[in-house]
Amino acid sequence: MYRKEVNERSPMRVFEGSMHGGLGRGNVGVIVSRPGVGKTALLVQIALDDLLRDRRVLHISHENAVDHVRAYYDEIFHDLAQSMRLEEPEAVRLEVERHRQIYSHLGHVKASADAPEEAARLWVEKMLETVAFARGVAHFEPDVIIVDGFDVAVASEQAMEALGRLAKERSAEVWVAAQVDEAGPPGKLPAALQSVERHLSVVVYLQPERDVVRLRLLKDHGNKDLADLHLRLDPHSMRVIDEDVRPPSERPRDPRSFRLHSGGAKGAEAEFGACAERYGVQELNYSFEGHRLLERQRGVVVLGDDELRKGDFSLVYVSRRLGRVLSEIPLVRNILQTIWHQINAASQVFVVGTLQEDGTVRGGTGWGAELARLWKKQLFVYDQEKRGWFRWSGSAWEMARQPCIASENFAGIGTQDLNDAGRDAIRDLFARSFGEPG
């Protein structure tokens, strides 16, 4: 299929048609959802659709580096090219890149839980500077401005007024995101957005369901009769899919044929185990004599000395890989040895913890992630601080949209300091993969 056909047949045309022609120049649109559903991914899908129509897109990120955002575009474009059987995809990708500029504000503005409105004001000021720089220095006049990592739900009316003024002065469409817990009834915005409603033209809510994400229109310019979008998103790529595409639920996976390989310790591993038990997934928790941190009692595999020695890497090597000195005490060595067995047995690895600036995962859990990278396993990390999933591409960490358990042998490991976001991420992972527990 050629680029023009892809664009004409894109379900994004339905998205626009349901909004009486789309967002339109001079207006601000907001993608709304609870954390981790895929707001940024949908923003990138909107941007790609515009780029394929030769519109110029300026993407401003407040929480990711330029290379990270570019990799995100590449992954979503690859999915689009494959699903639509795009002709000469590499040539199209290069043409798309000529119409796109990416800027990162990562580290420029420090968010504060005590003063979120002040941080939002500074973010908007930085955005205005970036648009002015792109126009004045790079001679780039955007048709569409995508802003990710800026939460409208904590912005003041003055900040949103400035954003709306930017859209009008530059005659551009501006898309941003907001984090809310619930959408509220049709025709009424979530409480967090009501104070800035007059500055918003379109508000779209992402509603996660069993194995798709549905779009709900909460505001459509001044229209009171809101159309039902009848659109679904693929939860992995956040690509809009046609109604005649069979959803994964019609090809259900039997959770009883899957095996969780874990360590059974308190925190993330105990939550992985509890979810496995709830869904009927087999559970294998590798342990050793005298393991005091073991919390799960289902599927415990006690490794003998000979088996433990199979996973006996030099602590000097492990320390170098993780960038920190590890203790020689037997307990630490035994835990590292059991992690070797967990990752060795799995084809897919899911980790809950915190990604550090050097690319490793914080704490002893990091050894499991390093082994998965070393052995080229499919690796996903849920960062509890960033509240999002990341995938190891083979050379860099990339944002991932709603991963699923696809391999019958998978590892679930992570921090003992599990927070509510991490717990929800694990539960949502199982729900996306297997539906509702029987």
* Confidence at residue 247, expressed as pLDDT on a 0 to 100 scale: 41
Q: Which of 139, 198, 148, 142 is nearest to 171 (CA)?
A: 142
Q: Where in the chain is the domain with CATH 3.40.50.450?
A: 255-434
How far is CA 349 from each of CA 159, 284, 320, 333, 408, rounded to the nearest angstrom? Answer: 41, 14, 22, 21, 11
Contacts of 400 (CB under 8 A, 6+ apart): 380, 388, 389, 390, 391
- The top-level CATH class assigned to 255-434 is alpha beta
Give the architecture-level CATH label for domain 3-248: 3-Layer(aba) Sandwich (3.40)
336 or 382, which is more confident? 382
Q: Which helix (H) or strand (E) holds 93?
A: helix 89-98
* Confidence at residue 17, expressed as pLDDT on a 0 to 100 scale: 64
* Confidence at residue 406, expressed as pLDDT on a 0 to 100 scale: 83
Chain-wide mean pLDDT for the chain?
Answer: 81
Q: For residue 416, how many other CB atoms are within 10 A of its CB? A: 16
* Confidence at residue 145, expressed as pLDDT on a 0 to 100 scale: 95
357 or 15, which is more confident? 357
Contacts of 150 (CB under 8 A, 6+ apart): 60, 62, 120, 123, 124, 127, 176, 177
Percent of the chain scoring above 90 in pLDDT: 25
| 187 vs 427: CA distance, rounded Å | 30
- Residues 379-425 have pLDDT tens digits of 999 999 988 999 887 778 888 877 889 888 999 999 999 999 999 99
232 or 294, which is more confident? 294
The yes-or-no verdict on residue 345 having pLDDT over 60 is: yes
Q: What is the DSSP string of 287-337?
A: E-TT-TTB---TTEEE--HHHHHHT---HHHHHHHHTS----SHHHHHHHH
pLDDT band at 144 (very low <50, low <70, confident <90, very high): very high
**Per-residue b or e along 215-241, where b marks 16 or more CB atoms closer than 10 Å to that residue's CB:** bbbbbbeeeeeeeebebbbbbbbbbbb
**In angstroms, how far is CA 209 from the centroid of its own chain?**
16
Helix axes 365-374, 330-345, angle to 10 degrees: 40
Q: Where in the chain is the domain with CATH 3.40.50.300?
A: 3-248
* Confidence at residue 438, expressed as pLDDT on a 0 to 100 scale: 65
Q: Which helix (H) or strand (E) holds 371?
A: helix 365-374
The yes-or-no verdict on residue 279 having pLDDT over 60 is: yes
Regarding pTM above 0.75, the answer is no
- Residues 56-97 have pLDDT tens digits of 999 998 878 888 788 778 877 877 777 777 778 788 888 888
* Confidence at residue 357, expressed as pLDDT on a 0 to 100 scale: 86
* Confidence at residue 243, expressed as pLDDT on a 0 to 100 scale: 46
Three-state secondary-structure class, residue 423: helix
